[in-house]
């Protein structure tokens, strides 16, 4: 038994579980990696053995092709990973397949949240609260200014803008893994059942979600569709395509963008976004502080984003905390929220 959490260490390349020789979301190729979810800043290829949920492994194969040896971890299944350490994947509510990892060693419990959110999301399993001694939490939106409105309100704004923009296509920039499928699923929840048109870069990930039981309704490919057929249509594309030549094939597009960063008006202006939609797959400030309060760990380690404000909040609330400043997960490195 290794006491005092010496078995889990923040290293420049990620979190390292020493007795098991396992890395969590490592930034370089390692012999054994445990991957929280499929976004590119967490899931890299080239590891000897990749451990992850079935959906995350499927996403990685979709993106990288062959990922070598893989071990599937089911939610809630307690797996011995070597050196007396057990690992359990718990739903993180971030994207399809996303997991928090609960590590147990010598009676000590550490949870690595990976990216997570608490808002409901019809495309993935909801975040699960579990007790632990150390909570290693992400902090992408760890500033009090970041408060995400309920997604239903943002979807209602999108549909109202469509109603008001007769003859125009509504072009929504959304990240291809997670955000796009969530926007589609929430449009369906809101009663919008018209075809939704997809940029080519979105199609395969949407099909992967559907293959994992997430119904997305009538999705159509843009290939070969005449411009006039897209009047009043909702079209999804990756954020990078919002401003490029590709969008000229749409009739007078009204550009929208779904991202937590749309809270910052300057970011929307920089991108030329007419309709900023504050839709994030990360916990906002209230969700971060509520989660720390609810789990009430002995210690909170903060990483992956705005560490200082959350650290200060922990101090003010007499909670022991430290900032990890892991390399490779700086603010803005997040695939799904890069804006
Ligand atoms: Zn992510
Ligand atoms: Zn991330």
* Closest C-alpha to 305, from 146, 140, 144: 140
Cα distances from 8 to residues 115, 144, 301, in angstroms, run 19, 30, 12
Query: What is the Cα–Cα distance from 83 to 104, expressed in whole angstroms?
Result: 11
Which numbered ligand comes closest to the C-alpha of 138? Answer: 2
pLDDT one-digit tens code per residue, 15-72? 999 999 999 999 999 999 999 999 999 999 999 999 999 999 999 999 999 999 999 9
Half-sphere exposure of 251 (CA within 13 A, CB side): 15
Query: Residue 139 and residue 256: Cα distance in Å, rounded?
Result: 25
Considering every ligand atom, which ligand is closest to the CA of 140? Answer: 2
Whether pLDDT at 283 is above 80: yes
Assess whether pLDDT exceeds 90 at residue 235. yes
How far apart, in whole angstroms, are the C-alpha atoms of residue 198 and residue 19?
A: 46
Q: How far, in Å, is the centroid of ligand 1 from the Cα of 212?
A: 18
Per-residue model confidence (pLDDT) at position 60: 98
86 phi/psi in degrees, rounded to 5: -115, 145
Instruction: Inform me whether the pLDDT recorded for 262 exceeds 60.
Output: yes
CA of 114 to the centre of ligand 2 (A): 7
Q: Which of the ligands is closest to the CA of residue 59?
A: 1
The pLDDT of residue 126: 98
Ligand 2: distance of its center to the CA of 60 in Å? 15
Q: Residue 241 — pLDDT band, cuts 50, 70, 90?
A: very high
Separation between Cα atoms, residue 138 and residue 141, nearest integer Å: 9
Question: What pLDDT, on a 0 to 100 scale, did the predictor assign at position 304?
Answer: 83
**Ligand of minimum distance to the alpha carbon of 329:** 2
Q: What pLDDT shows up at residue 54? A: 98
pLDDT number for residue 328: 58
Ligand 2 centroid distance, CA of 177 (Å): 12
Give the sign of the dihedral formed by CA 89, CA 68, CA 138, CA 239.
negative
pLDDT of residue 335: 59
> How far is the centre of ligand 2, averaged over its atoms, from the C-alpha of 162 (Å)?
31
Domains along the sequence of the chain with CATH: 8-145+282-337 (3.60.15.10), 151-277 (3.40.50.12650)
pLDDT surpasses 50 at 331? no
Q: Which of 134-143, 193-202, 240-249, 274-283 has the lowest mean pLDDT?
A: 240-249
- pLDDT tens, 145-204? 999 999 999 999 999 999 999 899 999 999 999 999 999 999 999 999 999 999 999 999
Could you tell me the distance, in angstroms and rounded to a whole number, from the CA of residue 84 to the centre of ligand 1? 29
> CA 250, CA 234: separation in Å to the nearest integer?
10
d(CA 169, CA 178): 22
pLDDT of 307 > 70? The answer is yes
- Per-residue confidence band for 325, with pLDDT thresholds at 50, 70 and 90: confident
Kindly state the average pLDDT of the residues 214-232.
95
Supply the pLDDT for residue 53. Answer: 98
- CB-based contacts of 285: which residues, under 8 Å, 6+ apart? 141, 142, 143, 144, 145, 146, 147
Distance 69 CA to ligand 2 centre (A): 23
Element of type H or E holding 52: strand 49-52
Output the CA 176–ligand 2 centroid distance in Å.
14
The predicted model scores a pTM of 0.95
Compute, in angstroms, the gap from residue 100 CA to the centroid of ligand 2. Answer: 12
Question: Ligand 2 center to residue 331 CA distance, Å?
Answer: 9
Say if CB 113 and CB 300 are below 8 A apart. no
CA 55 to ligand 1 centroid distance, Å: 14
Q: What are phi and psi of 198, to 5 degrees?
A: -120, 135
Does residue 112 register a pLDDT over 60? yes
| pLDDT at position 333 over 80 | no
Buried b (16+ CB within 10 A) or exposed e, 34-59: bbbbbbbbbbbbebeebbbbebbbbb
Q: Which token pair is 269? A: 């202006």
Number of the ligand closest to the Cα of 117: 1
The predicted structure's pLDDT at residue 326: 67
Q: What is the mean pLDDT of the chain?
A: 94
Residue 20 CA, ligand 2 centroid: distance in Å: 24
- Residues 16, 81: Cα–Cα separation, whole Å: 13
């Amino acid at each position: 038994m290794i006491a005092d959490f010496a078995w889990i260490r923040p290293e420049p390349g990620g979190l390292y579980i020493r007795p098991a020789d396992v890395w969590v979301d490592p930034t370089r190729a390692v012999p054994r990696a445990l991957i929280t979810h499929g976004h590119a800043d967490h899931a890299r290829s080239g590891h000897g053995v990749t451990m992850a949920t079935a959906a995350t492994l499927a996403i990685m194969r979709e993106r990288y092709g062959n990922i070598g040896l893989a071990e599937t971890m089911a939610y809630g299944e307690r797996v011995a990973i070597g050196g007396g350490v057990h690992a359990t994947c718990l739903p993180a509510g971030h994207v399809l397949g996303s997991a928090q990892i609960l590590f147990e060693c010598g009676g000590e419990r550490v949870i690595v949240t990976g990216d997570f959110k608490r808002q409901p999301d019809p495309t993935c399993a909801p975040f699960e609260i579990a007790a632990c001694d150390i909570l290693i939490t992400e902090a992408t939106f760890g500033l009090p200014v970041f408060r995400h409105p309920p997604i239903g309100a943002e979807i209602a704004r999108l549909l109202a803008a469509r109603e008001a923009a007769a003859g125009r296509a509504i072009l929504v920039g959304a990240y291809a893994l997670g955000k796009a499928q969530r926007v589609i699923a929430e449009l369906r929840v809101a009663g919008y059942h018209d075809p939704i048109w997809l940029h080519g870069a979105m199609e395969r990930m949407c099909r992967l979600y559907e293959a994992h039981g997430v119904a997305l309704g009538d999705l159509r490919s843009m290939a070969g569709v005449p411009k006039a057929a897209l009047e009043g249509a909702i079209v999804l594309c990756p954020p990078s395509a919002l401003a490029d030549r590709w969008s000229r094939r749409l009739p007078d597009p009204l550009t929208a963008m779904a991202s937590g960063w749309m809270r910052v008006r300057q970011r929307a202006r920089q991108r030329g976004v007419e309709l900023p939609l504050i839709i994030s797959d990360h916990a906002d400030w209230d969700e971060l502080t509520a989660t720390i309060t609810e789990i009430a760990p002995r210690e909170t380690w903060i990483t992956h984003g705005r560490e200082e404000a959350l650290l200060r909040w922990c101090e003010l609330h007499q909670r022991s905390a430290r900032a990890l400043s892991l390399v490779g997960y700086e603010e803005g490195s997040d695939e799904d929220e890069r804006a």
